């Protein structure tokens, strides 16, 4: 749909008509979207409701509710995952402007079998909703938050990531209540509905709640984490790398990795327990202890039988590392560059151009081919970040020719290019109404992205 039309948009001459303002364009697009199919309308309303956070919060809330109602009409078996994700997305955007209205609809979200056993989309909504409920109503919001947390835990995953954000805020006002919330969350860890990512969000929760919890609560939290490690192991083999300041730790067992991440908490709660775990898991003996207060730089890959040769695993690690490199580089560019160099992957070095002294010609000489899709996409993103818009657009014109690149390229252009009036003028000439309206909505969203009031899901 939009991906094919984007390539066409690059060859269409500029329209002569004056362009409306992004805010006015949103209303025009919304009016024209009423004749689209429900699934096309849902996609469009997502773009519109996010863009409208920059211009009119009441309009954003109304469009988010419209999106939610529209997604609710999707009932075919093929649409179950899409329905669950988009209803969650609609309430997430609604929480930006009207958290009470989002909370009122939260319990209408059923568990999503299509997402199990990997995730429960409702807990992603809680990450945005719970802190906003607290910011708006303080202690008065706690009963609602507790009810919503218990609701997801009863059929899916307890919202540990949301509580990790909430606990420090509650503790500033009332440490006693914060400790009670900590105990409630720990009690939910041995779950009857284990999901593969539960351990990761539980560790994030421990990190946030550790300064708040009493010694007894800390010990109970570690034992709960240990008891839950076996219940949510992935059926596939997983490999982990931890990039620590002094060394890189590589583990080929998911169980070892989970115990390794719990070790610093065990050492803090009861040193004897930490030593016992090292005796029980000999691969962990002598490894540097992970920090408690900050998340380590970690990459993880999943392999299947026959696909776990060292070469394939290393290649998968390179792809996994690339997801985090730009975030890491903003805190420690020198260390991030060393990691990228260790993979010998020019794609990763291209991502780091805005933070390093590396030059683009040097990268191109090191790349086997400048037409390498991953390398080209990384280069486009970096050129946009560096302000080299004209060069980035030329590279984007090349990348559109590869159908496999268009999903990622659409995401990059949505952030850096779609706010360009010249791009919008090209898009207006596209005949397919769904494609044209979607890309115009992306243009408006891109143009409004830098307004302080603008918000989007993280």
- pLDDT given for residue 95 in this prediction: 98
In a domain, 188, yes or no: no
In a domain, 128, yes or no: no
- pLDDT given for residue 456 in this prediction: 95
The continuous run of DSSP H or E covering 298 comes out as: strand 297-303
In a domain, 308, yes or no: no
In a domain, 391, yes or no: yes
Q: How far is CA 429 from CA 30, 65, 445, 457, in A?
A: 18, 30, 19, 30
Proportion of the chain in helix, strand, coil states, percent, rounded to 5: 70, 5, 30
What does the DSSP assignment read for 233-253?
--SSEEEEEEE-SS-EEEE--
- pLDDT given for residue 13 in this prediction: 33
- pLDDT given for residue 402 in this prediction: 82
In a domain, 164, yes or no: no
d(CA 299, CA 409): 23
Task: Give pLDDT tens digits for 47-79.
Answer: 999 999 999 999 999 999 999 999 999 988 888
- pLDDT given for residue 10 in this prediction: 38
Which domain does 381 fall in, by range?
Answer: 325-413
Task: Give pLDDT tens digits for 230-239.
Answer: 777 877 789 9
In a domain, 385, yes or no: yes
- pLDDT given for residue 247 in this prediction: 93
φ, ψ (nearest 5 deg) of residue 300: -140, 145
In a domain, 405, yes or no: yes
In a domain, 372, yes or no: yes
- Count up the domains in the chain and report the number: 1
- pLDDT given for residue 229 in this prediction: 86
User: What end-to-end distance do the CA atoms of the chain give, in Å?
Assistant: 25
Residues 6+ positions from 224 with CB-CB distance below 8 Å: 186, 187, 189, 190
Residue 450 CB neighbour total at 10 angstroms: 9
Residues lower than pLDDT 50 in the chain:
1-16, 368
- pLDDT given for residue 276 in this prediction: 97
Gyration radius of the chain's alpha carbons: 24
pTM of the model: 0.87
């Amino acid at each position: 749909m939009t991906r094919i039309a984007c390539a066409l948009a690059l060859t269409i001459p500029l329209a002569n008509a004056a362009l409306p303002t992004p805010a006015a364009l949103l209303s025009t697009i919304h009016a024209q979207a009423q004749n689209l199919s429900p699934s096309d309308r849902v996609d469009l309303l997502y773009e519109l409701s996010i863009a409208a956070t920059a211009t009119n919060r009441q309009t954003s809330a109304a469009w988010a509710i419209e999106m939610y109602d529209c997604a609710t009409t999707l009932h075919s078996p093929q649409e179950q995952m899409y329905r669950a994700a988009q209803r969650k997305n609609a309430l997430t955007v609604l929480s930006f402007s009207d958290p009470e209205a989002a909370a009122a609809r939260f319990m209408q979200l059923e568990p999503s079998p299509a997402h199990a056993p990997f995730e429960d989309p409702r807990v992603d909504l809680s990450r945005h909703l719970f802190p906003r409920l607290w910011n708006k109503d303080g202690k008065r919001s706690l009963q609602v938050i507790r009810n919503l947390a218990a609701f997801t835990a009863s059929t899916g995953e307890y919202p540990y990531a949301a509580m990790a954000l909430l606990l420090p805020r509650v503790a500033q006002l009332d440490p006693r209540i914060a400790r009670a919330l900590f105990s409630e969350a720990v009690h939910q860890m041995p779950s009857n509905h284990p999901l593969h990512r539960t351990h990761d969000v539980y560790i994030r929760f421990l990190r946030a709640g550790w300064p708040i919890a009493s010694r007894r609560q800390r010990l109970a939290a570690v034992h709960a984490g240990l008891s839950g490690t076996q219940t949510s192991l992935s059926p596939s083999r997983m490999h982990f790398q931890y990039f620590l300041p002094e060394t890189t730790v590589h583990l080929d067992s998911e169980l070892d990795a989970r115990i390794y991440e719990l070790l610093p908490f065990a050492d803090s709660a009861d040193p004897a327990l930490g030593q016992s775990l090292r005796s029980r898991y000999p691969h962990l003996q002598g490894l540097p202890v992970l920090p408690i207060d900050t998340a380590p730089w970690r990459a993880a890959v999943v392999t299947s039988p026959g696909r776990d040769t060292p070469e394939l695993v290393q290649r998968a690690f390179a792809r996994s590392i690339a997801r985090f490199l730009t975030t890491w580089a903003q805190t420690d560019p020198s260390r991030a560059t060393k990691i990228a160099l260790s993979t010998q992957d020019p794609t990763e070095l291209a991502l780091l151009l805005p933070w390093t002294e590396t030059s683009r010609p040097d990268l191109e000489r090191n790349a086997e081919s400048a037409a390498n899709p991953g390398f080209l996409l990384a280069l486009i993103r970096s050129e946009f970040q560096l302000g080299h818009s004209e060069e980035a657009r030329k590279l984007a014109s090349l990348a559109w020719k590869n159908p496999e690149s268009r999903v990622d390229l659409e995401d990059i252009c949505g952030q850096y290019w779609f706010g360009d009036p010249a791009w919008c003028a090209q898009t207006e000439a596209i005949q397919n109404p769904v494609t044209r309206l979607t890309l115009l909505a992306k243009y408006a969203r891109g143009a409004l992205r830098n307004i302080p009031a603008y918000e989007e899901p993280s």
